[in-house]
Amino acid sequence: GNSVTQMEGPVTLSEEAFLTINCTYTATGYPSLFWYVQYPGEGLQLLLKATKADDKGSNKGFEATYRKETTSFHLEKGSVQVSDSAVYFCALTIPGSSYKLIFGSGTRLLVRP
Amino acid sequence: NAGVTQTPKFRILKIGQSMTLQCTQDMNHNYMYWYRQDPGMGLKLIYYSVGAGITDKGEVPNGYNVSRSTTEDFPLRLELAAPSQTSVYFCASSPPTDGSNQPQHFGDGTRLSIL
């Protein structure tokens, strides 16, 4: 079946450190891939997306590249800030599935000053 | 710019009680979804709708019902609340397709406790 696997958290970093959150997927067909972010007490917000192989999504200094050969969509940021502390969800949709999102379990990021 | 609005934000129910979680969107989106988020877990799809009058089950539909009489509203009903339904519930909507996948827009969630 279709699924998303994320690295377990929490991930604790110092401000200005480099961030990588791993995400791999299993899917039929050609999924679209997403990263959502959830700040404390809030709903999910789209962070970035990629709809085909080798696409790079980017937003707010975060980047992720759709790697079909390794079925991965790792999230990276060169220099994290305290305000980046949140839970990050990797997700996919399958074409023709009414855009239902399949989520990973989420990775909590804590950035310390 | 209201987006997706969920009410209530918090609720405590007793076992066996019933309630309806409200969700409304003002973006004229065709697609709407209900998810639940359990602690330390990702979101799981309960029900979804591709338009008014059309609903379908997601991954975890047992114990819930939905209706979609208008494009704007997609209420989720719990008929006999059970402790296993303690969770945070999120409603989301997506715009009509234009050939590319559109992101879902989420409400702020309803935190529900069954005691």
pLDDT bracket for residue B102 (50, 70, 90)? low
Region B88-106 average pLDDT: 78
Region A108-112 average pLDDT: 96
Q: Is the pLDDT of residue B88 over 90?
A: yes
Question: Given this model, what pLDDT does residue A84 score?
Answer: 97
Contacts of A4 in chain B (CB under 8 A): 42
Instruction: Classify residue B63 as left (phi > 0), alpha (psi -120 to 50) or beta.
Output: left
Question: Given this model, what pLDDT does residue A96 score?
Answer: 76
Beta strands in chain B (DSSP E): 4-7, 10-13, 19-25, 31-37, 43-51, 54-57, 64-66, 76-78, 87-94, 105-106, 110-114
Q: Is the pLDDT of residue B97 over 70?
A: no
- Helix, strand or coil, per DSSP, at residue A13: strand
Region A57-86 average pLDDT: 96
Which residues neighbour A33 within 8 Å (Cβ) at sequence distance 6 or greater? A23, A25, A49, A50, A51, A57, A64, A66, A73, A90, A91, A92
- Contact: A89, B42; criterion CB under 8 Å: yes
Q: How many A/B residue pairs have CB atoms within 8 Å?
A: 60
Region A6-32 average pLDDT: 93
* Position with higher pLDDT, B25 vs A41: B25
Question: Given this model, what pLDDT does residue A8 score?
Answer: 85
B contact test, residue of A39, A55, A101 with most B CBs within 10 A: A101
Alpha carbons A11 and A76: distance in angstroms, whole number:
13
Helices (H) and strands (E) in chain A, counts: 0, 12
Task: Say yes or no: B61 contacts chain A, CB-CB below 8 A.
Answer: no
* pLDDT, tens only, B40-64: 788 999 999 999 999 999 999 999 9
CA distances (Å), B20 to each of A37, A62, B17, B50, B72, in order?
Answer: 27, 38, 11, 20, 16
Contacts of B41 in chain A (CB under 8 A): 105-106
Question: Given this model, what pLDDT does residue B99 score?
Answer: 46
* pLDDT, tens only, B2-36: 799 999 999 999 999 999 999 999 999 999 999 99
pLDDT bracket for residue A56 (50, 70, 90)? very high
Across the strands, what pairs with B74?
Answer: none
